[in-house]
Amino acid sequence: MSSDPKNNRSTDQLPIAVYAAVIGFVAWMGLAAWGFAGPGYADLSLAVVSGLLIVAIAIPLVLWRVWRANTDEQTDDAPSFRAWRSSQFETWQDRQKGATAATEIVLPIAAAAAGMTAFAIIFHYAAVHASV
């Protein structure tokens, strides 16, 4: 971190690109979860999981829309993702570089989506070779 805090721009707002990445990984995880579809009650369970993922996206989206409709801030002045990632991002504990904050926000859902995909691939591979 620089010793002169006046030269470091800081914000507590995330750019749209971070939200889009999270929504994309949630959608990927939902599709990967449907890789477990098969006979029995799996379809019902996967429908419930899909509903929960939709709610997990819808609640923050609705809250953001309500905030945007009731704020006086101009959102057109938002910096680009390139400028944001090199600036400081304020959390309730400290400040950190924007790129680090984006990584820490997106990484858990990205790991879950990749893990769910790996489990679905292994599930199908094991199902094909289990009857042999």
> Which of these ranges, 7-11, 13-17, 72-76, 87-91, has the smallest mean pLDDT?
72-76
- Whether pLDDT at 8 is above 70: no
Q: Where are the domains of the chain?
A: 14-67+81-130
What digits encode the pLDDT tens for the residues 90-132?
888 889 999 999 999 999 999 999 999 999 999 888 888 877 6
pTM of the shown model = 0.79
Residue whose entry in the numeric block shows the structure tokens 């709610």:
55
pLDDT at 2 over 60: no
pLDDT digits (tens, 9 = 90+) for 44-80: 888 888 899 899 889 988 988 888 888 776 655 667 8
CA distance 33 to 80: 33
Question: Residue 27 CB: number of other CB atoms within 10 A?
Answer: 14
